[in-house]
Structure 1
């Protein structure tokens, strides 16, 4: 394009120069040629500047094109990653929904199972309570009958000798001591229930009977007896230490709601060989239902005694 423009310009100059030579002469031609030469130089410079600018613009365009191409590649990559992430989240959401449904089903099954277990536990507790009630009633009945038989002739030497014959022989002459505790909870004992401490840890003299909870004095003398019991929150009990039919000591506990309480009673007294010493619920103090006596590894309900002299 620049060459064509130059050629046209040259022809124009020649035409002008030819017509001018016929009019003004050589000076006028030289002046005109000089003007034309300057014009050509300006046009050449302008053409060069335009060319350089075009080359610069083409270079920038090429760079921008490459940059846009890289941006497009990065954009496509980001779109692909986002789509993959969306698919992962959709799969995770579906799995979570399945898990929620499964957990709801398992929760419902657990609720039904717990309900069945609670019903079974209630039946077992009722059965266990009835068993305890029957056992204690049977033992209390037999014990009361035996005491009634012993009340009037208790000072009779023949009766006392017979009772001594029923007492197991002492394994260590002169030494008498025992300690036992309950192995489990005692639910809702009624009045005059003899407490049975079935786990025997010490029984020097073999005078304590874990099946009945009664200590049969093997030798007359001064003894120390101590009993401990534990109750749950909002429960109360009064427990007596009995020697035959005589109340020799009592201990009352009332635990506030949300707490547990444990108390210990101690009696020092003289007893005779053949006397029965035991612990029972108070004869005249009535407690509410489900007022249990607790005993476990965190606190034992226990009964102990030993001969001082």
Structure 2
């Protein structure tokens, strides 16, 4: 009786061992399958894109405009402001307040003198020197004035005679602002009679230059 119980117990142990072995094999197969699956399926790579530096539109535009303005100012400050031009024609019996145009340009640093109108437009604020001259003869009497915008700065007058003629000139040192218009014109009140001449014997001219930036 006891031997039969021992046999039965051994049989049960073998059966349990077989079941445990079977479970171990199943578990090993599952682990192997998972490992193979991991090897075959590529792991997603975590790419962290580097963000490019961003600039706000208005801020970038403002910086560009500021830089361009600074470059323009630097270029303008390096450009000499000076001009000289004379008339190639006679002003025949000029009327009152006639703006004289000096059409033959010799110097125009900064391109601020406009020969068609006879007007110099100040590119920068500062102290300027302006000079002008006119030639008369043959009983002519002419008066001209230098204008800054609508304000006269100085005037010159020449009363020639039959035997005496020549050039008369004026010079002004004046402070002008950027954009101001400077020109020479005849005066009024019947101060003008005869012609303003300009030829190889004597030129009627207008010139000026920037003396100091204000």
Q: Aligning the two structures, in what range does the TM-score lie when normalised by the shorter sequence? A: 0.5 to 0.7
Two-structure CA RMSD over aligned residues (Å): 1.4
Q: Which has the higher helix share?
A: 1
- Which structure is higher in RCO with an 8 Å CA cutoff and minimum separation 6? 2
Aligned length: 138
TM-score by length of 2: 0.62
Larger Cα Rg: Structure 1 or Structure 2? Answer: 1
Change (3 A) 1:194 1:243: same
Contact 1:176 1:306 in 2 (8 A): yes
TM-score by length of 1: 0.43
1:7-22 → structure 2 map (5 Å cutoff): none
Extract unaligned runs of 5+ from structure 1.
Answer: 1-169
Q: Which runs of 4+ in 1 moved over 4 A?
A: none
1:132-211 → structure 2 map (5 Å cutoff): 173-211=78-116
**Post-superposition CA distance 1:197-254 (Å, at most 9, x none):** 0000000000000000000000000000000000012110110000000000000100
Extract unaligned runs of 5+ from structure 2.
Answer: 1-74
Q: Which residue of 1 aligns with 2:120?
A: 215
**Post-superposition CA distance 1:74-112 (Å, at most 9, x none):** xxxxxxxxxxxxxxxxxxxxxxxxxxxxxxxxxxxxxxx
Q: Secondary structure at the match of 2:111?
A: coil
Cα offset, 1:256, TM superposition = 1.4
CA distance in 2: counterparts of 1:243 and 1:173, whole angstroms: 25
Cα offset, 1:284, TM superposition = 3.0
Contact 1:171 1:206 in 2 (8 A): no
Q: Which residue of 2 aligns with 1:275?
A: 180
1:1-309 → structure 2 map (5 Å cutoff): 173-288=78-193, 291-309=194-212
